[in-house]
Amino acid sequence: MTKVSPSILSADFANLERDCKMVMDKGADMLHIDVMDGVFVPNISIGIPVVKSLRKKSDAFFDVHLMIIKPHLYAEQFCKAGADLVSFHIESESDVQETIDIIKNCGKKAGIVIKPATPAEAVFPYLDQLDLVLVMSVEPGFGGQSFMESALPKLKAISEEAAKRGLSDLYIEVDGGINETTGRQCAQAGANLLVAGSYVFGAQDVAAAIESLKI
């Protein structure tokens, strides 16, 4: 069954503690925390102080997605602030191996993210060291975008490569335009972790929305 990681980018930031607790109480498996620097992506979201503050109020698993230009400079700080898993973009300016090592040395789980134009094979050299691969099914930066079907063959390729290597615990995550229909497509292609923002936080029945993604 797929797990669900609601993106707090779609939460009410004035009531972040309340909204995070609400989605966890209604069946979410973890919280997806999007960190944007306004340079790597054309938007600015939240940073280390918010993660640190939220950690004091929540025992949820924090799935922190760094959409920043130099993740190696900040990965350790996010780990110390309370992230359980830190993922970063392979397209960033940081050395990939160095950034993985920083996260792992903090005792945390490490993930690599690929944008829509990046092929699945780009993550293969690092796959055995990773806890997660995140395939973006929209251009990163803003919530509420439409799902790009080009993500599906990438999910399939990563899933098949992980199976070939016996990496049964690898999270294969997808983020962008996820709803009941696209979530099912992604699960069939090999995803086992779905990020959903507006679909969950904007739902009239949040529990039903989350349940519909557990495929």
Q: Which of 172, 193, 97, 114 is CA-nearest to residue 148?
A: 114
**Crossing angle, helix 151-164 and helix 180-189, to 10 degrees?**
40
Any idea which residues carry the catalytic annotation? 34, 175
Beta bridge partners of 109: 85
Write phi, then psi, for 196 (nearest 5 degrees). Answer: -140, 130
179 neighbors 199 (Cβ within 8 angstroms): yes
- Alpha-carbon distance of 71 to 92, in angstroms, equals 7
Residue 209: partners with Cβ closer than 8 Å, 6 or more residues away: 180, 196, 199, 200, 203
